[in-house]
Structure 1
């Protein structure tokens, strides 16, 4: 059992925490499965999606409503004391439709009769409602979802949770399901698609630890290092997309060394945002710039003096001017992510910290991806302490290519 839980625990409702801690963690502890907590899928957030080798995909919606909390309801809308909500049955059918449409695009998941071989189940948990009450509210139990009232939840068994164990998925098939449902973790390949289908063998994606690292709750400095093609840039883009979706008001900056790399990342980001059906107003909160464009946006361009070489001006003088231009001002961005950090100079890291907002503990949400062994340009720093970056306990090293594992 592996859990992708990218949000603060106190943001979960009591019913969601109960389902995760008292049911899933206990019942699925010996299962080969991935538990996604409030994942983003086509800009929607089901409470849980669980992917298991023997039972396929579970889509789970949890409602904490008590009987006296509900004012009125129909098959579309539930009016409660604190607002109007979509009927959970209608919600989960929407989620199912999205999941099915994505999985039906994988050639290997379709049998000879054109049917989907991956089992997909819908479950709705009413943690505070009785069976008697639900029988009087048919709008809460219609359709094909498995319904669990508070009594059934207390005695929930593994067999009831995973009622159809007809699948025998391989590791590659599970990875493909993860990549298809969450395209932000897919590692791009050079192979062009010849038709509308993809095949399992062609899907490369981040493994569990890489995805979990990309979606950590922001707090402090993080770093991922790896050889070219190891997936570090995918982790960076995945994190940027996750932050933009998870936090409605967050603005995110991705910085690179060169304009060419910035343009490449913009292209990759657009493709992933399209695959994820992320609205423009969310995607547009992610800015991608090369470092000197950031300097220009802060202080403009001052003509260098005769005693300043081009290298000295661009690497030292201009960044210092930008840092000085920010003095006394609060940070602009909620998160700053740097690709190919190894080519950044000392003051460049200082500018990254200056442009980033601090949390209540005085820490910036910074993320760095690169490889110190792949330096192209001459830089003057040799330790992370020297550049003011604290990554102790917050770094990962990628040693291999796609589908690689992390090593500490």
Structure 2
């Protein structure tokens, strides 16, 4: 079964489009991707099929009958259109051809997708084909009416060739015919690697790009070949969520690292592109996350604007640059102050004023909320009164395993909107390695009250267990020291090792702490002193509100942050220090402390280091894990 984007076809699609969608999904190989009406730089072909052993094929679908067609030639067809009025239509095959040239024009801008030698040098390294689909005409009819004289049978499908319910349908014929829809006889000797498939998607759909990710350093000679392959791309599931969430209110619940924030940012950029007159609001709880989200939104909108403004063989002559809706990004309390000059205690009066129309406030056509689990009931009530009732476009994104503020949830009461049947669960972790996911989840299960809380479907339960993750890496590293200064000396040495030997940039590393200062220990002072002593550039994110707002990921500095301020952020390497202060002695809620440490662990892409120089309930657990790791290593070596 092939992957499809969207996963299901819209109800307004024609009957022929629905049949072809179902057939391609059911009968093409599992590593094929089928796009229905994708937006590709201002154009929308009916279907685009991408396959490792196929290349790319564009299909134009027509639901015409013999009675629809008056006459046809190789360039234009005269048909009966709406209200039986005659109209000239471009030959569907020619229309598919134009879409394909438009698509190829953009793909050729990525040098890595081009052949580098031979007579076909500078051409794409894979074939691009195109054809027409006549969903209400049969091969016998097309032959009898001599339609094959104006459109070669090699480049078109008839109803009996795409409908599995027809007695003459053949899966073999379907695939073989699709493999031959190319003007130039060009079969791939070897299937395209996944990197090339991702690069094709990356170039055609800039909204699925994951920008600002860590890039492995390349040798000098490889720098010449660097292209869009150096930027990662959403997987098909994430792309489907971002592009096809549907209208009005929606809820996304996902595990840490499942791409919730990425989907939200992409969704906002797509809404802004599709609705140039909309005012869009993005809210989160965390100040540093708001700043990071703003950077991500800026990158995505700039990519969509620049890609849409590039020339094409078939661009409109006007050359007008595409306009975008307005996107505002705030953490909630900054929004509250900037828009209403209000504080938390004034929210009830503010809500009543909005209800009675005494308060003038701008409405938003779409509101997207990250970290929904951290929002108070009255915050959501306030936000819901700022939503345009005509659009009701509210997207909530949450992970209740990261609910460190113990907010109570009743979205129907909070927003006046029901999310029953309008939610998605993301259980695949893309950020972390299998080793980190397993380590973090085992810790969380051992140290939290999970009974009757794990969700399987929509609203059943509160916490979503991570099901799988595609990446592998080293086991998390546990280090126990005698003093905190020794702990930080070791952490500094490991940071240098990762930077020198594994080429991890300083700005892809973060040190997370639970406690800044105690009467007998200045933790933050020791952290900064040791980093400075080891010539490690560093930036303290959580020093004050100003430092949170000025946070930049790619500044060449190791980051220092409280665990709370790291929510929504991620790094290649994460160092969690002074874990002996967890659970914190002045914190009665150990469940919150377990959630905090789980959040900290899941900030790491590949490298996770946990260190301590004292004892606590959590360090006792880590001691047991470390002993198990040591015993396993000894058994393997003996």
> TM-score range with shorter-chain normalisation?
0.7 to 0.9
The 1:401/1:145 distance shift into structure 2, 3 A limit, reads farther
* Gap runs ≥5 in structure 2: 163-167, 181-185, 310-318, 438-464, 468-638
SS at match of 1:128: coil
Partner of 1:106: 110
- Cα distance in structure 2, aligned partners of 1:85 and 1:345: 56
Partner of 1:338: 369
Partner of 1:223: 252
Which is bigger in relative contact order (C-alpha 8 A, separation at least 6)? Answer: 1
Q: Residues 107-146 of structure 1 correspond to what in structure 2 (within 5 A)?
A: 107-111=111-115, 112-113=117-118, 114=121, 115-129=123-137, 130-132=141-143, 135=146, 141=151, 146=155
Paired residues, what number? 383
TM superposition shift of 1:342: 5.3
Range 176-185 or range 84-93, more displaced: 84-93
Contact 1:110–1:117 under 8 Å retained in 2: yes
Partner of 1:321: 350
- Cα distance in structure 1, aligned partners of 2:64 and 2:10: 19
SS at match of 2:67: helix
Partner of 1:176: 199
Contact 1:224–1:398 under 8 Å retained in 2: no
Partner of 1:26: 26
Contact 2:366–2:392 under 8 Å retained in 1: yes
- Cα distance in structure 2, aligned partners of 1:17 and 1:364: 28
TM-score by length of 2: 0.50
Range 264-273 or range 72-81, more displaced: 72-81
- Cα distance in structure 1, aligned partners of 2:225 and 2:76: 33
Range 382-391 or range 210-219, more displaced: 382-391
TM superposition shift of 1:26: 3.4
The 1:390/1:280 distance shift into structure 2, 3 A limit, reads farther
TM superposition shift of 1:168: 0.3
- Cα distance in structure 1, aligned partners of 2:241 and 2:31: 20
Q: Residues 6-405 of structure 1 correspond to what in structure 2 (within 5 A)?
A: 9-21=10-22, 23-28=23-28, 30-70=29-69, 75=75, 80-82=80-82, 86-111=90-115, 112-113=117-118, 114=121, 115-129=123-137, 130-132=141-143, 135=146, 141=151, 146-150=155-159, 152-153=161-162, 155=169, 156-163=173-180, 166=188, 167-189=190-212, 198-200=227-229, 202-214=230-242, 215-218=244-247, 220-225=249-254, 231-243=259-271, 251=278, 253-257=280-284, 260=291, 263-277=294-308, 283-290=323-330, 291=332, 301=340, 313-318=342-347, 321=350, 324-326=353-355, 332-341=363-372, 344-357=375-388, 364-369=392-397, 381-383=407-409, 390=419, 394-397=424-427, 399-401=429-431
The 1:26/1:231 distance shift into structure 2, 3 A limit, reads closer
Q: Could you give the per-residue CA deviations for residues 145-174 of structure 1, whole angstroms, max 9, x where no partner exists?
A: 812344555645211122365250122222
The 1:217/1:348 distance shift into structure 2, 3 A limit, reads same
- Cα distance in structure 2, aligned partners of 1:80 and 1:294: 55
Range 271-280 or range 166-175, more displaced: 271-280
SS at match of 2:133: strand
The 1:131/1:333 distance shift into structure 2, 3 A limit, reads farther
The 1:395/1:170 distance shift into structure 2, 3 A limit, reads same
Q: Could you give the per-residue CA deviations for residues 9-68 of structure 1, whole angstroms, max 9, x where no partner exists?
A: 3211111112112x313321x341111111111121111111111111111110112233
* CA root-mean-square deviation: 4.3
The 1:340/1:317 distance shift into structure 2, 3 A limit, reads same
The 1:67/1:231 distance shift into structure 2, 3 A limit, reads same
SS at match of 2:42: coil
TM superposition shift of 1:217: 2.3
- Cα distance in structure 2, aligned partners of 1:255 and 1:369: 11
- Cα distance in structure 2, aligned partners of 1:231 and 1:9: 25
Q: Could you give the per-residue CA deviations for residues 72-117 of structure 1, whole angstroms, max 9, x where no partner exists?
A: 7773686642266554334322321232123223333222232211
TM superposition shift of 1:5: 1.6
The 1:390/1:26 distance shift into structure 2, 3 A limit, reads closer
Contact 2:202–2:208 under 8 Å retained in 1: yes
The 1:399/1:190 distance shift into structure 2, 3 A limit, reads closer
Range 204-213 or range 285-294, more displaced: 285-294
- Cα distance in structure 1, aligned partners of 2:197 and 2:329: 35
